[in-house]
Amino acid sequence: MNKKICFIIRGENDFLCQEVLHYISYLTVPEGYEIEYTIKQGKVGQAYDAGMKETDAIIKVYLDENIFLVDKELLLDVVDIFEQNKYIEILGALGYKIARNNDKEEYLSVGNCYKLGLQKGNENYDSSKITRIEEVDALDVRCLFTCKDLKWQEIEDVVVNKKQLNNSKETMAVILNKKEPWCLFDNE
C-alpha cells in the first residue's frame, strides 16, 4: 500500500512557500509514511489539479502559500481520522454550515484557526463544545486534506461546496476540531 503524504502548495512567493515548508518540516510523520511536496503556481483549481496529477500519494494536503500548520501532531490526527471512517474523504481547517432562512442561505463559520492580527480565527468558537470532527457543507480550499482525488479543474473560489469537489453522496466533508488552533492563516 502506498503510504505517502504529498503537500501540494499553491504559491507565487518563494519566501512564503519556503516558510510553509519550514512548518511542514516540524510535523510528526506517522509511522510507515513518507512525505513529499510540490509547489504550483496559478489559480487555485489549476494549481491543485496539476499537483494532484503528479503524485500517487494516498493523502494529499492542499495548502495556499499563506497557510502554516502549527500543530506538530496534526498528521497523526489526519491519518487516524481517514483510517477510522471510510466516508470521510475531505478534511479542512475552516468550513461552513449552510443555514437557510426565508429562502436565503447564510454561511456559518466552523473551525478554529489563528488568523494574523487576531487571537483566534472564529469568535463564535467554543472549545468546551467541540467534537473531534464536524461535518460541514462547504470548505475553505486554502487548507484541505484528502484521501481521494478531487475535481479541481473548475474551482476558482476559496470557499466551495463539497459537491463541487466530489459528486459522491456518501462522502463526508469535515473540519478537524482541536482545543487549540492547528493552523495559521496569514491573509496580510
Q: Tell me the C-alpha to C-alpha distance, in Å, between residue 162 and each of 37, 44, 89, 108, 124.
A: 24, 15, 10, 15, 23
With cut-offs at 50, 70 and 90, classify the pLDDT of residue 13: very high
Mean pLDDT throughout 174-182? 88
Question: How many Å from the N-terminal Cα to the C-terminal Cα in the chain?
Answer: 40
Residue range 19-23: average pLDDT? 97
Three cell numbers, residue 122? 472564529
8 Å CB contact between 173 and 90: yes
Q: What is the pLDDT of residue 14?
A: 96
Give the tens place of pLDDT for each residue, 71-120: 999 999 999 999 999 889 889 998 888 888 888 888 788 888 887 755 44
Backbone φ, ψ for residue 25 (5° rounding): -65, -20
Q: Is the dihedral of CA 167, 143, 81, 4 positive or negative?
A: positive
Residue-level pLDDT at 171: 74
Q: Pick the closest to residue 41 from 10, 13, 71 (CA basis).
A: 10
Contact in structure between 115 and 187 (CB atoms under 8 Å): yes
d(CA 63, CA 55): 15
CA angle 119, 96, 178 (to 5 degrees): 50
- Predicted pLDDT of residue 121: 46
Q: Which domains does the chain have, with CATH numbers?
A: 4-185 (3.90.550.10)
Percent of the chain with pLDDT over 70: 81
For residue 103, what are the contacts with CB-CB under 8 A and spacing of at least 6? none
Q: What is the pLDDT of residue 130?
A: 64
How much is the mean pLDDT over the chain? 85
Give the Cα separation of 65 and 80 in Å (integer): 26
In contact, 96 and 159? CB cutoff 8 Å: yes
Q: What is the tens place of the pLDDT at every residue in 41-70?
A: 998 889 999 999 999 999 999 999 999 999
The amino acid sitting at 70 is V
pLDDT of res. 56: 95
pLDDT in tens, 126-137: 545 567 888 888
Place of cell 478537524: 176
Summarize the confidence of residues 11-32 as an average pLDDT. 96
What pLDDT does 119 receive? 46
